[in-house]
Amino acid sequence: MHTLTRRAALVLAATAAATRPTRAADAYPSRPVTVIVPFAAGGSADVYARLLAPRLQAALGQSFIIDDRPGAGSIIGTEYVKNAPADGYTLLLISNTHTVNETLFSRKPFKLMTDLVPVAPINSSDLVLLTRPDLGVKTVAELIARAKAKPGDLSYASSGPGTPYHMAGELFKQMAGVDILHVPYKGSSPARVDVISGHVDLMFDATTTMASFIKGGKVSALATTGLIRSEVLTDLPTVAETVLGFEATIWLGIMAPKGMPPEAVDRLNKAVSDIVASPEVKATWSKDGAVPMVMQPAAFRTYTDQDIAKWAKVVKLSGAKAGQ
């Protein structure tokens, strides 16, 4: 009897051990989750992370804490997440700055798609092509003609090497066949100020930020950068209507350290997808020109791989380098 009892106890213990990982994963999250934003506070990544956090808390029953760790073109915060435990309690807010950095930085302490795992996309938004008010061009075609007539005479501002604003400018130069000088800044605000004040000729900037400046006549808007016209700047054509196939957007998503339990990845993916697809969020974000993105983790991996490949060609052809 004693032997049978002991055997029964061993069987029960083995069964409990076998089922424990599944129950733990199903319970995710069981404590607060930290989301590292590797960009400056107040930027679009930080803003949307803070909009998402309380909704994730409501959906999953735990706090989602936003921790801004900017620096080195997103590398500092990204390295922090790469070295965090792969338990799903430290997440990374990414943008397509990360996909550009895979080629832009020849040396960095991680490889995005090797050291981290895609969890869920969040949204994407168009940029808008702006010029200083007195430049004297009204269309993309006129801008291209002006640039071709005087190669290297025009300049464009960006928030720094590898940012979506920089890459949009380089993609435009390649696809339009023009030579325009890149003037990098340490952030979008000083770049924007110098375009408004007339020190730099043009810039690709966020529609959400520049709509009021456009309406106030402080800058001239030529076109938006999506494949279809913007719902925010409805009067503007797309760059693609003149430069066939041109597309340059900003997109955001969530990644985690490699090894995060698949069940936890799936649960978080579903929560994010449900939130961004909700009528309330879609309606709120549409006013800012942000379009929700919904993908399963595998599809998001494919999307990110393709974005890395797209911008790798632009970086290589442009000769862009980190710090330049």
Residues 91 and 185: their CA atoms lie apart, in Å, by 28
Domain spanning 126-241: which superfamily?
Periplasmic binding protein-like II (3.40.190.10)
SS3 content of the chain, % helix, strand, coil (to 5): 50, 20, 35
Q: For position 215, what pLDDT does the model report?
A: 86
Q: What is the CATH number of domain 31-125+249-318?
A: 3.40.190.150
Q: For position 143, what pLDDT does the model report?
A: 98
Strands 155-158 and 202-206: parallel
Sequence ranges of the chain with CATH classification 3.40.190.10: 126-241
pLDDT tens digits in sequence order for the chain, 324 residues long: 454 455 555 445 445 444 444 444 458 999 999 999 998 888 788 999 999 999 999 999 999 999 999 988 899 999 999 999 999 999 999 999 999 999 999 899 999 999 999 999 999 999 999 999 899 999 999 999 999 999 999 999 998 888 889 999 999 999 999 999 999 988 788 999 999 999 999 999 988 778 888 988 999 999 999 999 998 898 999 999 999 999 999 999 999 999 999 999 999 999 999 999 999 999 999 888 889 999 999 999 999 999 999 999 989 887 877 654
Amino acid identity at 184: P
Q: At a CB cut-off of 8 Å and minimum separation 6, what does 222 contact?
A: 129, 130, 131, 137, 138, 139, 140, 143, 236, 239
Q: For position 188, what pLDDT does the model report?
A: 82
- Give the total residue count for the chain: 324
Q: Is residue 261 within 8 Å of residue 25, measured between CB atoms?
A: yes
Sequence ranges of the chain with CATH classification 3.40.190.150: 31-125+249-318
Residues 307 and 313: their CA atoms lie apart, in Å, by 10
Six-digit token pair at 168?
């949009």
Q: For position 72, what pLDDT does the model report?
A: 85
Q: For position 319, what pLDDT does the model report?
A: 80
